[in-house]
Amino acid sequence: MRRVKLAYTVELDEIPEKVKEFLEQSVHGLATASSDLMDVTVVEHVNITLGKIDSIRQRLALVDNRLEDCYVALAGYSHAKMNEHMPPEESPVQPPAVSEQELRSVMRELQHLRTEGEDLEKEFDGAEGETNDE
């Protein structure tokens, strides 16, 4: 028999009640598996005993899977409830969008300022050289 996980959606506040139902099913599954295990005897035919043991193990595996589902559901519920009480994260500030034309204009201005700076540096170096020559 192939087993598949089945997911469905419930309201957040319904999770504890659903988990309670699953736990009750698990208790019932454990109780019947335990009762059946108590009835297993080795004096029967070995094949019958093996079949009963295998059947009990499979039911215990189903209970284990159901308990895992409960664990995951409650962990998710707990995480969601904690996040409800946390302040919302502020979204990072996005820089204003700059058009290509504005970017080209800024780059031209930077080039102009660089050229002016180089010219001033040459004038300064030239003026400094004249004072040293005297």
67-123, pLDDT tens digit by residue?
999 999 999 999 999 888 777 777 677 777 778 887 788 888 888 888 888 777 777
Q: If we measure between CA atoms, which residue out of 54, 69, 67, 2 comes closest to residue 28? A: 67
Q: Please determine, for residue 63, whether its predicted confidence score (pLDDT) is greater than 60.
A: yes
What Å distances lie between residue 3 and 21, 58, 112, CA to CA?
20, 11, 73
The domain spans of the chain are 12-84, 96-134
Q: Give the residue-averaged pLDDT of 47-65.
A: 94
Which pLDDT score is estimated for 131?
Answer: 58
pTM value > 0.75: no
Which pLDDT score is estimated for 127?
Answer: 67
Helices 15-39 and 46-84, interaxial angle, to 10°? 160
pLDDT band at 132 (very low <50, low <70, confident <90, very high): low
Q: If we measure between CA atoms, which residue out of 15, 17, 22 comes closest to residue 76? A: 15
Distance CA 40, CA 31 (A): 15
CB 58 within 8 A of CB 28: no
